[in-house]
Amino acid sequence: MRLLLVEDDCALQANLKQHLEDANFGVDCAADGEDGLFLASEYPYDAAIIDVGLPKINGIALIEAMRKRQLDYPVLILTARDSWQDKVAGLDAGADDYLTKPFHPQELLARVKALIRRAAGKASPLLENGPLTINTSAAEVRLGNQLVNLSASEYRLLEYLMLHQGAVQAKTVLIEHLYDQDFDLDSNVIEVFIRRLRRKLDPDNALGLIETLRGQGYRMNCVGKKGKE
């Protein structure tokens, strides 16, 4: 998943970015509302974390501008502990949740994951497709009762495909959602990770989990709908 983090406190921004990346998120950062609006408008995100007290454009105005531009992915606002007015204003502007400072990074992670799941129509942290199960809270993948060992990049790709079962995902879309804006969009990295996932999850294509649609991209099929490359 790819996140937008807009926070003007450099130390807090760096700390949150590290925690989010350790949890397998791709993270783009901005230190003011103006840069945040530019990134929000130019790149696809799965969720945004926005501080209310931003320079140039404050967090409330930033969220309002994002919603006016039809950017409808989930937004979590960060507010001061005693500023209930900011919480109300943020939610009224289009934010989906809020977190008061100071907070524990694990709570931030849990809230962001829940927002992304709900946006994809998945209330539970367990994503299931036949014998394949992902526990998004623990970043754990099982095939039947067997634990599957995936790299961080393989896990990010699989989780995204599972959250969007049945939808065709172009290679460029996958790269844009999984990596930051400096990543080489012409890279064949997605093909490499798709091959690895097939080898680990469905080596004989007995389940037909991940289908290649030539010239279009990839689709996570529901088990029983077998696709061929």
Question: Between these two residues, 41 and 24, which has the higher pLDDT value?
Answer: 41
Torsion of the alpha carbons at 11, 85, 5 and 107, rounded to the nearest 10: 80
Q: What digits encode the pLDDT tens for the residues 89-104?
A: 889 999 999 999 989 9
Q: What is the pLDDT of residue 185?
A: 57
Residue range 166-200, pLDDT digits in tens: 999 998 888 887 776 666 656 688 898 999 999 99
* Residue 186 structure tokens: 């012409």
Query: Please, which residues bridge with residue 211 across strands?
Result: 219
Amino acid 228: pLDDT: 39
Helix 171-178 and helix 189-201: axis angle, to 10°?
90
Rounded to an integer, the average pLDDT of 107-133 is 89
More confident residue, 9 or 184: 9
DSSP characters over 52-79? SS-SSS-HHHHHHHHHHTT--S-EEEEE
Spatial distance between the Cα atoms of 98 and 75, rounded to a whole number of angstroms? 8
As to burial, measured by CB atoms within 10 angstroms (0-12 exposed, 13-18 middle, 19+ buried), residue 50 is: buried
* Rounded mean pLDDT, 75-96: 88
Per-residue pLDDT, 180: 65
- 129-150: average pLDDT: 91
